Structure 1
C-alpha cells in the first residue's frame, strides 16, 4: 500500500491561498461569498478572482455573507435569501447529479472542480481494539451515509472533515470517509503527514463545485460560464485546480496491467492501494449545499409526541418518496436503513430526532430536495419514530417540535 505524499502540493496550494481579490470597495462590483469553514475556500476564492478578471467584471469578497447556520444547517431557502441581499454569487457551491436542487430558485454555473468522497488511511498507524473496525465520518454528511453502508464496523462521527482525518491519524479509527478537498486542505496544513487514498464506489459520492446565483442572475451566470469555458480551453482552470483534483480512477484502471486495486494520484503515478472494506455500496447523497452541521450535545429530553394517524399518513408518503432508495421495510437498498441499530441503536445514539428531521427536510428526497411540505416531513418523521419502537400519543408531531428536538434517536421498546 503506497502513501500519498503532500509535499508536491504545498507550493501550488499555498499559491492558491496567497491569491486575493483586487482591492475594491465592499459595495463595488459583484459581491462574492464562500461558505464559512469550507476546506475549499482558498480554491474557491482563487477561481472566483480569475473568473471575474477573465469576464472583465469588478468583484469583491464578502467575508460574512453566509452565516454558520445552526444544528439544522443552512437551508436552500436561507441561501436564496442571501443571494441578492448580501451576495450576488456564491463560489464553491457543492452539487451532485442526484440531488441538484433544480427545483429551487437558484441558478448554477458549469462546474470548475469535480470532486467526491474518498476513503483514507494513515500509513504506519496501528489502531487497537475497537478502533480496528472503526470508520470516521463527518456527522450528517454524505460521508456518514456512505460509512453507514459498511458492514461489521463502528462509526466515529465527527463535527468536521478535519476531525475525521484526525481520528485516523490519532489511531481512533482505521480509516475515514472524507470529501477530497478536505484531504488536500489537511495535507497543506500538515505537510509531513502522509495519507493513503482510495476511492469509494458510491455513485452518490460524486460532486462538483460551481458558482450559484439568484433567480435574477441569468446574465451574470452566462458571463461566468463563458469565462470558465475560456479558462478551461487555455489551461488556466486546470492549473488553478490541479492540486485539488480528484485522483483519476478511471484512467488508472484503463492502463495496461492495472486492476481494481490501482489508482492514479496527483503526481500522475499509478499506485496499488487496496484497503479492507473500501468498496461501499451506493448510498443516497445528502445535498449538503454548504451545510455545516454540529453534533447535538444537549441533555437527553423526552421525544416529541406523534399520533398514529399521522404515522400512517407518513407511511404512505414514505412509500411514494423514500422507499425506492431506503426500502419498503426501511431496510436500506441503495441508501441507508432507517430502522435497526445502524439508524436507531438501543443506546448511545449519535443522531438526534431534530438532526434527522432537519437533515431530511432540507435534503430529501435526493432527486428533489425539500419538495414536500413541512407537515409532510413531520408525518414521515412520525412514521420513522413509530417504526423504531416509539409509541404514538394523542398530540400530533409538528415540524417545529421535530426540528427542535434534542432527544437522541435510541430505539424505543417494540410496539
Structure 2
C-alpha cells in the first residue's frame, strides 16, 4: 500500500490538510435556503466525521426547536481552479460559496485562535475537539521523542506532522500521499508509528477492527477544534444564534459528549487552547 521510497519532504507550513479526512470541500449548489424554522447544514460525505456532523446538526436543531435540513456534497469530486492554498485549491473559495447555499457549513477543523478561518467567514462555538494521533502495533507512549527512539515515523504529505522533524531527525520521517498508504505502511511494518488524523483512524477501525495502540500528540498543530462556518455578514442570523446557544446548552447539560462520541467535546475556549 505504501510508496517504495520516501517523497520529497515538504518544507512550508501546511494550510488545511491534504487528506480527504480533512476535509473541505466542493461546492454543491442548491436552490436557496429552506423556509423559516429550518436550519440548512452543508455536510461532506467524504469527511470521516460526517455522522458526527449530522448528529450535532440534528441535536442543535432539536434544542432550538428548528428542523435540520442537509445539503450533502462530496469533496473528492471537486472541481477547482487551483487559486487557493487548500487541497485541490478548494478551501477558501469553496467554503465562501457554500456559505451562500447553507446557513452553516459543518466539519471545519480550526486552529487554536482561529488563524485558518477563510476570509469573509466566521466560526461557531466548537463542538468537537480532535486532531492527529500516533498509532502503531506496539507501544506509542513517551511523546514524540519516544516515537523517534522507537523507529521510523510515517506522516501524511503536507500535514502538520511534517513540520515536527528537524535536520537531525528527518531520516526517521517517511511521507505518504494518502491516509490509506500511511496506515498500510504502519501495518506492514515499513514504519513503526503513523501520525494520522484521528477521525480517519476512527472510521477505519470501525469498518476494519484491528488491534493497534493509539496515543494523542502534545505537539504544535496536533489538536484542532471542529466548528461550523458561516459568512461574517450572517453573524446575527437566527441560525447562527440558535446553533451557538444550543451548543452552549448541550455542553452545560453534559449532553454534547454523548452526541459527538467517539470524539471529545471541547472544554476550553478556543483562544486559550494550548498547542
TM-score range, shorter chain: 0.5 to 0.7
What's the CA shift string for 1:49-84, capped at 9, x where partnerless? 111121122221111276635553322132112211
Is 1:68 matched with 2:85? no
Query: Alignment RMSD, CA only?
Result: 2.9
Larger Rg: 1
Task: Tell me the alpha carbon deviations over residues 174-207 of structure 1, each in whole angstroms, 9 at most, x when there is no partner.
Answer: 111112222211211112x022122323132120
Matched, 1:112 2:122: no
Q: Residue 221 of structure 2: which of 192, 197, 204 is its match?
A: 204
**How many residues are treated as equivalent by the alignment?**
214
Structure 2 partner of 1:164: 182
TM-score, length basis structure 1:
0.46
Greater length-normalized contact order (CA 8 Å, ≥ 6 residues apart): 2
SS in 2 for 1:235: coil
Aligned to 2:99: 83
* Structure 2 residue 57 is matched with structure 1 residue 54: no
Matched-pair contact (CA < 8 Å) for 1:135–1:147:
no
Q: 1:61 to 1:103 in 2, by over 3 A?
A: closer
Among residues 194, 206, 218, which one is paired with 1:176 in the alignment? 194
The 3 A distance-change label for structure 1 pair 237 and 26 is: farther
The answer to whether the Cα contact below 8 Å between 2:117 and 2:123 also exists between their aligned partners in 1 is no
**Deviation by residue 1:282-341 (Cα, 9 ceiling, x = unmatched):** xxx9xxxxxxxxxxxxxxxxxxxxxxxxxxxxxxxxxxxxxxxxxxxxxxxxxxxxxxxx
Helix, strand or coil: the match of 2:262? Answer: helix
* Structure 1 gap segments, 5+ residues each: 1-24, 125-131, 249-284, 286-415
- Tell me if structure 1 keeps the 8 A contact 2:92–2:118: no
**1:43 to 1:156, Cα distance in 2 relative to 1, 3 A:** same
Q: Which runs of 5+ in 2 are unaligned?
A: 1-30, 81-86, 140-149, 268-274
* Partner of residue 142 from structure 1, selected from 160, 181, 188: 160
Q: Shift of the alpha carbon at 1:123?
A: 3.5
The alpha carbon displacement at 1:148 in A equals 6.8
Larger relative strand fraction: 2
TM-score, normalised relative to structure 2? 0.68
